[in-house]
A and B are shown apart, each in its own frame.
Chain A
Amino acid sequence: MFLSQLSLRNFRNYRNQEICFNPDFNIIYGVNGQGKTNLLESIYYLSVNKSFRTNRDIDLANAEGSEFLIKGIFNKGSFSDQLEVNYTQNGQLQLKVNNCKTDRYANISNYPVVIFSPDDLLLIKEGPSIRRKFINLEASRLVTSYLKKLKDYQRVLSQRNYILKDKIGFHRKIELLKPWDQALVFLGTEIIINRVSVLESLKIEATPFFDQMSSSHETLSLDYLSNLTIAGELCDINTDVIREKFFELLLDKREEELRRGLTLQGPHLDEIKISINGSDARRYASQGQMRTAVLAIKMGEVKLFKKLCGHSPLILLDDVFSEFDEVRQENLISFLKDEPGQCFVTTANRPDHIMSLLRKRHAIIKIDRGQASHERDRADH
């Protein structure tokens, strides 16, 4: 699968842009602030239906307008799909695949992308919510029913919290909570089971890369932390056992929940622990170790998509080479060499060095003040 063509209208600093891509490798090159990352962002948005930089769609519209359009053609074997995202003047998002209207997020499993960016480091450095977002996105793309379960779970949370906050008597509250306790436990259990299985698969793919890159026999571990799991192990416990324990914990927390008016038990509060040699990377890892860990996780993500979706995801690399030392650069290059997925790399420096190591067919696209143009096409093996 590869993206052969992209058109942008009023997206960030692009006015009207049509561009063709190389099926293998695309170097997006130019001085900072010209729109290199914006181009990656538009590809990401086409695939995931949201940005990796902002939650507000309006931010993506050209400064003078309040609408934008992204169109792309994905080639899959002998077929091609045209994807279209249109953010309209009245703030609505309209999505089409081959000219048929679809819902937002309905196709996020079909044209997967994996982004590598300097901000990946935040996955380790920030609080638990960024890691929950990460696992939610991965599970939504890899498990068919997950997104629906997640939406339903959030609806159950707001229904339940409404009762907890309501100013009614204790006994009536307990009676009203009953159906929502059950919904919380049933949906919550399924979400936890899906997350644990996705995380486990990701761990299997990511750890070999970490081994390869780290010098001193360090091991990377990704564990699901919930008071329903024991050291991230859940696989040998069945659904009924988890539900039963979930109900028990909910009962334990009842008093505090009523006092605070909030649901205090469930996957919306769970955490993913990233550890190196058994200790929490967030607290104890060096900057270098963190970089290696997130790079290994990202490479694992690429492998996982390939394994579960049957084709390689698009790989977006946002100015990552400049951040890496030689070991990580070499590892990334050898990874990309073996990787058949289409790549997009942004860089401010001339990419000759990378390309001489990589030896892949490629296109160089120069970005200058919101204008993209092919510098030259080369096909050196």
Chain B
Amino acid sequence: MAYPPALKKLVEALARFPGVGPKTAQRLAFFLLSSPREEVVTIARAMVEAKDRLEFCPACGALCEEGDCSYCADARRDRSMLCIVQEPRDVLVIERSGRYRGLYHVLHGALSPLDGIGPEELKIERFINRVRGQSIVEVIIATNPTVEGDATAGYLAGLLKPLRVKVTRIAFGLPVGGDLEYADDLTLNRAFEGRREIL
């Protein structure tokens, strides 16, 4: 197939996005070509800028911009509550639902020996030290309702018990095996309200 080289390059680049096949990539490419130049520049800049400016907060692991964490640094947030999630995108899901106003801790995964993920990979010791150093009253565990998410929750609860903090697990009324990222706002609010203490 004869393609102008620049078009070929663009289609190949766009096809690297998850869930985007060659056909969709071609459609996106023609969309860009039909858009005004300024708009294309804005889109391209937004990508590069996000990549350059966003990093993971060294304290909580959530996405933050140039060292300025919108969760850790926000004085209005409730510092007695800490919510543990698996992935940075889970923070966005919980923020969108709007009810929770405490702090976060992102594990960047769940325990899974088959994938080589143990407590060290999740930096769990650092997490425990974080809880120890602050006046946290309740830790809400919101890892996914999978075998690995549940095992991680149970493990963390065991480590937190001696620190005399209340440990709760959110109540998943989600479809079986459904990850946090697929939950709608109402379901998520219910899950937070219905959270139960792990004894």
List residues of A whose CB falls within 8 A of some B CB.
148, 152, 155-156, 158-160, 162-163, 166, 175-176, 178-180, 182-183, 186
Contacts and interface: CB of A to CB of B under 8 A. Distances in A.
A176 B151 contact: no
A252 to B, nearest CB: 21
Interface stretch (B8-16, B19-27, B110-118): B110-118
Contacts of B114: 158-159, 162
A156 B149 CA distance: 12
B176 A183 contact: no
Contacts of A176: 113, 118-119
Contacts of B150: 183
A159 B150 CA distance: 13
Contact of B113 (A152, A163, A186): A163
A159 B118 contact: no
A296 to B, nearest CB: 36
Interface in B79-132: 111-114, 118-119
B127 to A, nearest CB: 14
Given A178-B155, A179-B154, A162 B147 contact: no
B173 interface: no
12 contacts: A159-B114, A159-B151, A162-B113, A163-B113, A166-B113, A176-B118, A178-B158, A179-B158, A180-B113, A182-B155, A182-B158, A183-B150
A45 B103 CA distance: 51
Contacts of B119: 175-176
B147 A183 contact: yes
B22 to A, nearest CB: 20
Contacts of A183: 147, 150-151, 154
Nearest to A165: B113
B152 interface: yes
Contact of B112 (A152, A159, A178): A159
Contacts of A155: 147
Main secondary structure of the interface of A (DSSP, over half): helix
Contacts of A156: 147, 151
A176 B150 CA distance: 15
B151 A182 contact: yes
B119 to A, nearest CB: 7
Nearest to A151: B147
A216 B198 CA distance: 55
Interface in B45-68: none
A179 B155 contact: yes
A163 B112 CA distance: 10
Given A179-B111, A180-B113, A152 B118 contact: no
Nearest to A168: B118
Contacts of A175: 119
B69 to A, nearest CB: 28
Contacts of A160: 113
A199 to B, nearest CB: 25
B114 to A, nearest CB: 5
Interface string B146-175: 011011101100100000000000000000
A56 B133 CA distance: 56
B159 to A, nearest CB: 9
Of the candidates A152, A179, A182, A183, the one having the most CB atoms from chain B within 10 angstroms of its own CB is A179
A214 B98 CA distance: 68
Nearest to A161: B113
Contacts of B112: 159
A159 B154 contact: no
Contacts of B147: 152, 155-156, 159, 183
A176 to B, nearest CB: 5
Nearest to A163: B113
A180 B111 CA distance: 9
Interface string B136-151: 0000000000011011
Contacts of A186: 154
B117 to A, nearest CB: 10
* Highest count of chain A CB atoms <10 Å: which of B155, B158, B176: B155
Contacts of A159: 112-114, 147-148, 151
A270 to B, nearest CB: 20
Contacts of B154: 179, 182-183, 186
Given A156-B147, A182-B158, A183-B151, 5 more contacts: A156-B151, A163-B113, A179-B152, A183-B154, A186-B154
Contact of B176 (A148, A162, A180): A148
A186 B114 CA distance: 20
A109 to B, nearest CB: 15
Nearest 3 A/B pairs, CB to CB: A179-B155, A179-B151, A162-B113
A244 to B, nearest CB: 14
A160 B113 CA distance: 8
Contacts of A179: 111, 151-152, 154-155, 158
A77 to B, nearest CB: 28
A156 B176 CA distance: 17
Contacts of B151: 156, 159, 179-180, 182-183
Contacts of B176: 148
Nearest to A158: B114
A178 B113 CA distance: 12
B77 to A, nearest CB: 29
A158 B177 CA distance: 18
Q: Which of B111, B147, B150 has the most CB of A within 10 A?
A: B147
